[in-house]
Structure 1
């Protein structure tokens, strides 16, 4: 139908940011200060939810991730590697995006990851900017750590997310550190640094001065909106990017604006540049609806092809994890009572309301470890795996995948780099509901310590594309555990957890012959085959999807170049989790913020260099 409203020239913008998620909020904040003469429009499909106790309270993050008020509730197609389970993928339905509903843990990539991406996947023009050295300041600028002085000449004037360590180090947190010290791996340095194996106590995105969540919406966008050159529109569905009919002199598409729907009516709005920050599922599908993507996907949806770009919507990755739990000795405090007891939950809520203290004032996980398999494997076991990986990489017929796989291969061969990021939960955890009898109680008796292995760099790849039926949502498939090496490596990490449980530090806090979880396999793991059998029933997502608009060379399947510009276009960029070409070792939000900081550097340099 024809647009209801055609904007006048006064309604044009210098820059449109599509989406008000983690990256977009940061970009709007920085550009509102650095380019005060630029008019910036932020279009968000969700709402701007302010001063909401559910969002503000760190300990309530799990309740947000199933509530349609806050969560877009994406669901995958049946995943064969997980016994055909459909996997829910929460994404934030509000300003701040998923940073406003996630579980807070702040885990950084390592130098080696950045250097390999820059060296192996980018053109010469991007290698310096995107190297570890070129990214150091980007990882520093976006946050303020609670232990740091707020007076900082470099970044004191910048809007920043507040992060903090746990207020207390209880028995389980201390024993976590001790267990790795017993293995000869003293506490590693947290933050963006070179890899080293061992345990870390990480920060969470919590402002400890007030006991509240700190997210991109509050930290970045709200201050930007007060500066006068940023406009926010919510409840907006962006249909497509509009391009000039005539190509530029060098044969590229020139975006002239956006078509969007608001309250059922279509609108057009113009801009000099468009940045897609709609997320790993949103950004590729907007490109596809705009005529950029895989030929057969666009043809099936009757969309004219403006630029054939096969990487759009491909290369989808996620951190799959699997956990084992062990019953703790009497007197070792966990959070299991709060799971089972309404009275305990009420008391916890009252404490938080009174003083912003207690369990609800903190995130769920602070105790992490970067775990190479070499940490607890025999040398012969690791050598066997390295040989398997080498055969798979050499035998990969697709040069695009082989380039990525060789990056992962280097990580596996390194004794200091994590093949899994492992973390501890001070409570029981269940991911095997489909494998136990109906009406099984959600929680078991007893108190538990749970150790979770999160596969750092999976080999499996999935996709996210528009449906041929425009009334349907995006079609999402991760193909979890479809690559045999993922099964092999994650199963080995379950064996590593079992060996960790045998260390003196864990023996001191767990019962002799302790009860075990998952419920569907309540026994110690005695073989690699045991571990492989647990994966389909107890593996789960860590909610870290990325990769669908990867920053790589176009010949390797990339969608954006080292300037984050979409191939074939003059003035369309993407900046969100979709541009991460290979998933980093831990929670991806730190990388998303850092990539957004780099995007700001790039944009400002181009503005300074323009006539």
Structure 2
């Protein structure tokens, strides 16, 4: 039923976007360009922090995470698969969303993943839009490569860059994988090929500054005059008309939000939720759309039962191994341990926007297929186990998703993990060590991290109260599916193969230390690798899937036009709509899906305008 309380905003908008995160900023930009006569309102809980030094400086991304001025500071419930650890999940609390606080790496999905989503999870009517061919321009449009002399021109897009100069470890990354028989694959949105790549980071090399959604998309849109941004507001819920349309669907009339303690209603012809993987399902549930069990427990009346809301939560877990390298191999360990070197880096950045703080931490990645890891017999053993688990799955949605993952496992070219290089030590097992154990150890390290590409484990994020001030209950259920552990363990063995190859062996310090400290020796067996995971696995901060774009009978929340099932004028577009997590960092897919969302909306608006002209 429509709300009878709250102050009515005197203005009405064609579109209200809930959230000013990565997807919302891009959508606002494209709609304001292509529909100049349409008025757009963007509601954001955080602030628009223009010219903020912490946000602009690439090397300070770690300082933003955990700071409530920039981060929602969310966390999971204790995770049984990770020895009961509570896992923090930074999410951007400012215009630009998480693109304004993340660590910059740009990793693209592969064609096969995109095609399978279109073919296996969507109806026929959505396949042309969401196939790899239909999405190619969307992946190309949102970014441009810059260097110190080239600022990327005037296009409204994210500025990216390659490293200004490769250091010793980065130069050795490609040869290490060539020793395994794999040359460098394509770095952009393309068909899969295993091997090492040097990727871009979302940094404007001409300025030495972070490039994020608010600077690239939102600020130009605001300058055009048909976009309004309201910050510091808390979105309560969507308000629907008391009567349903002729098609039986709910029709949204307005968004209820709180601004400095005052409740307001703003009306819109269409509402687009872009509040993120945790925020968008929360708004739907508070609005009466979701599982009747969840809504009943939270004392929210059910307007449309949609059990998939808040379900299907996925994330990339990673686990790393480190070797101590020779003293003459430059790494970042000395800087991490030395306040003097950190001050010198800060002074250099202040003078010229160059040096360590002008760079992202990771440019060296690899797409590692299962066939890189095992003998044919070992591969077939895991493929057989996968088939058995698939046959036992009774839920249609999970069965369809697992079949998609199975295809990647069976492919000799598709990544079952994305692997990347860090030029420093990495300690994720401190909680398991005696109190007082130092956070860092002496020495100079190369760390190789395996990130499980397509986990089978699924979690959830749900409200427990109708109050907008209460955070959702987040459960990832990491490593709850046994196949995740089996695939992950094999990728740790691949890291050992890299370390024993000629390239890394020539860099390794004789009798040098090994990390993690909870396993200070080479990993020799699958059993040892399995044992490392609960202690040392960590998140890559890539949550997605809670408002999945899938058929409704599969547990989907939005259809192929990103409309929420059961509604006529509510859409979702952010990381929550990704039905199956892509192989690498998810931001490239989020931007591309936002490009497609804008494309679909503009197409629908222009079709409606054409019909109106014909009728007159």
Common topology (TM > 0.5)? yes
Question: Per-residue deviation at 1:150?
Answer: 7.2
- Over 3 Å counting, the alpha-carbon distance change for 1:148 and 1:399 in structure 2 is farther
- Over 3 Å counting, the alpha-carbon distance change for 1:323 and 1:415 in structure 2 is same
Question: Per-residue deviation at 1:526?
Answer: 1.2
Equivalent residue, structure 1, for 2:481: 483
Question: Per-residue deviation at 1:148?
Answer: 12
- Over 3 Å counting, the alpha-carbon distance change for 1:151 and 1:479 in structure 2 is closer
Distance 1:524 1:151 in 2: 45
SS of alignment partner, residue 140 of structure 1: helix
Equivalent residue, structure 2, for 1:306: 303
Contiguous gaps of at least 5 residues in structure 2: none
Distance 2:139 2:446 in 1: 32
SS of alignment partner, residue 444 of structure 1: coil
Question: Per-residue deviation at 1:7?
Answer: 2.7
CA contact (8 A) 1:550 1:580 kept: yes
Q: Is 2:242 the counterpart of 1:265? A: no
Equivalent residue, structure 1, for 2:9: 7
Q: Is 2:470 the counterpart of 1:472? A: yes
Equivalent residue, structure 2, for 1:176: 173
Cα-to-partner distance string for 1:325-358 (whole Å, 9 max, x where unaligned): 0001110000001111101101111111111111
Distance 2:120 2:219 in 1: 38
Aligned-residue CA RMSD in angstroms? 1.4
SS of alignment partner, residue 237 of structure 2: strand
Name whichever of 79-88 and 392-401 sits farther off.
Answer: 392-401
Match among 556, 573, 586 for residue 588 of structure 1: 586
Q: How does 1:162-311 map to 2 (within 5 A)?
A: 162-311=159-308
TM-score, normalised via structure 1 length: 0.98
Q: Is 2:502 the counterpart of 1:504? A: yes
Equivalent residue, structure 2, for 1:426: 423
Distance 2:70 2:574 in 1: 19
SS of alignment partner, residue 424 of structure 2: coil
Q: Is 2:134 the counterpart of 1:137? A: no
Distance 2:318 2:155 in 1: 35
Equivalent residue, structure 2, for 1:328: 325
Question: Per-residue deviation at 1:361?
Answer: 0.5
Question: Per-residue deviation at 1:534?
Answer: 0.5
- Over 3 Å counting, the alpha-carbon distance change for 1:170 and 1:466 in structure 2 is same
Distance 1:592 1:397 in 2: 30
Question: Per-residue deviation at 1:77?
Answer: 0.5
Equivalent residue, structure 2, for 1:78: 78
Distance 1:157 1:329 in 2: 45
Distance 1:2 1:473 in 2: 25
Distance 1:285 1:213 in 2: 29
Question: Per-residue deviation at 1:4?
Answer: 4.7
SS of alignment partner, residue 163 of structure 2: coil
Equivalent residue, structure 1, for 2:369: 372
Distance 1:434 1:227 in 2: 51
Cα-to-partner distance string for 1:579-599 (whole Å, 9 max, x where unaligned): 000000000000000000000
Distance 2:151 2:334 in 1: 41
Distance 1:2 1:306 in 2: 17
Distance 1:283 1:149 in 2: 40
Distance 1:292 1:407 in 2: 28
Question: Per-residue deviation at 1:376?
Answer: 3.1
SS of alignment partner, residue 207 of structure 2: coil
Distance 1:304 1:294 in 2: 11
Q: How many residues align?
A: 606
Question: Per-residue deviation at 1:521?
Answer: 1.1
Distance 1:173 1:297 in 2: 48
Q: How does 1:38-53 map to 2 (within 5 A)?
A: 38-53=38-53
Equivalent residue, structure 1, for 2:568: 570
Question: Per-residue deviation at 1:92?
Answer: 0.3
Equivalent residue, structure 1, for 2:409: 412
- Over 3 Å counting, the alpha-carbon distance change for 1:465 and 1:457 in structure 2 is same
Distance 2:79 2:151 in 1: 49
Equivalent residue, structure 1, for 2:521: 523
Distance 1:6 1:321 in 2: 48
Q: Is 2:315 the counterpart of 1:356? A: no
TM-score, normalised via structure 2 length: 0.97
SS of alignment partner, residue 106 of structure 1: coil
Cα-to-partner distance string for 1:135-156 (whole Å, 9 max, x where unaligned): 000000000112699799xxx7
Distance 1:253 1:209 in 2: 48
CA contact (8 A) 2:373 2:493 kept: no
Q: Is 2:119 the counterpart of 1:119? A: yes
CA contact (8 A) 1:373 1:496 kept: no
Q: How does 1:25-64 map to 2 (within 5 A)?
A: 25-64=25-64
Cα-to-partner distance string for 1:109-162 (whole Å, 9 max, x where unaligned): 00000000100000000001100000000000000112699799xxx7640000
Question: Per-residue deviation at 1:262?
Answer: 1.1
Equivalent residue, structure 2, for 1:89: 89
Question: Per-residue deviation at 1:2?
Answer: 6.5
Distance 2:174 2:594 in 1: 33
Q: Runs of at least 4 residues of structure 1 off by over 3 A? A: 1-4, 147-152, 468-472
Question: Per-residue deviation at 1:301?
Answer: 1.3
CA contact (8 A) 1:315 1:547 kept: yes
CA contact (8 A) 1:3 1:265 kept: no
Distance 2:353 2:124 in 1: 50
CA contact (8 A) 2:148 2:207 kept: no
Equivalent residue, structure 1, for 2:555: 557
Distance 1:570 1:4 in 2: 24
SS of alignment partner, residue 374 of structure 1: helix
Question: Per-residue deviation at 1:513?
Answer: 2.6
CA contact (8 A) 2:408 2:414 kept: yes
